[in-house]
Chains A and B, each alone.
Chain A
């Protein structure tokens, strides 16, 4: 297959470890194609005066059927959790088949150039 430029905007990869479920990408998305489910957990660290609350990501999904590949989510992410990847081979055979969940989005990470 022909070589695709590595900066091509083929798909967006998610680093679920870096994601803090802050929802900024969801709110900025013009197509409303990103969904995040999360919950907060209480963490008590020894010696701390009071417990800390951390957001835990339950679900991150992008509907590639809707996405217009504008890259706003990649730009606004304050925690560097979203990256462009040049991968383009993921057609779907059924409606709704273009919704990719957390693990599928994370699987694109190795194809991201020069992270």
Chain B
């Protein structure tokens, strides 16, 4: 169930009162297309093994949400991880220590627009201009397509979005 961010902690408190007392999962999903970060919470009710999934969306520019540490002390770890990985601030979580990453990292790695610097600056050995001719055998028999789509696909390393690529010659 998707709920309003303003009703986050009160809705969760209601679910806890309904018997969903076990914190199963608290994580986030970056949705740059919508300009939002989705927070996902899964609670379990131990009596009948029922699960309750709550989600809420917060703005990507200054993501901020109420902390759940008063309801679930263990949520602090998850919130600290989400803060590092997605840059979400949890109001009311008193623990500001980093959890997993080096303090000086300066990026939120699980945001989809985070550039993996090593992958972006390493010259891909499969780039067509990397190796003399490097024309696949038989390629000289194929007429190049007018769209040029084939060659562009071949020049992009897997896992590197086009907007990561360095300018020619840089």
**A residues whose Cβ falls under 8 Å from a Cβ of B:** 20-24, 26-27, 29-30, 32, 34-40, 53, 55, 58
Contact = CB atoms under 8 A, between A and B. Distances in A.
Nearest to A78: B137
A58 B125 contact: no
Contacts of B136: 22-24
Interface in B120-143: 122, 124-126, 131-137, 140
Nearest to B133: A40
B157 interface: yes
Interface residues of B, number: 15
Nearest to A23: B134
B157 A55 contact: no
Nearest to B134: A23
Interface in B91-144: 122, 124-126, 131-137, 140
B125 A26 contact: yes
Given A27-B154, A32-B157, A40 B135 contact: yes
A37 B124 contact: no
Interface of B: 122, 124-126, 131-137, 140, 154, 157-158
A53 B134 contact: no
B131 A21 contact: yes
B121 to A, nearest CB: 12
B159 to A, nearest CB: 8
Majority SS of interface residues in chain B?
Answer: loop
A55 B154 CA distance: 18
A23 B126 contact: yes
B132 A53 contact: no
Contacts of B126: 23, 26-27, 29, 32
Given A32-B157, A53-B140, A55-B137, A23 B131 contact: yes
Given A27-B154, A32-B157, A55 B133 contact: yes
Given A23-B126, A32-B125, A37 B137 contact: no
Given A35-B131, A39-B132, A58-B132, 7 more contacts: A21-B134, A22-B137, A23-B134, A26-B125, A26-B126, A27-B157, A37-B131
A36 B125 contact: yes
A39 B158 CA distance: 24
B135 A34 contact: no
A26 B132 CA distance: 14
A24 B134 CA distance: 10
B125 A39 contact: no
A102 to B, nearest CB: 13
Contacts of A27: 126, 154, 157-158
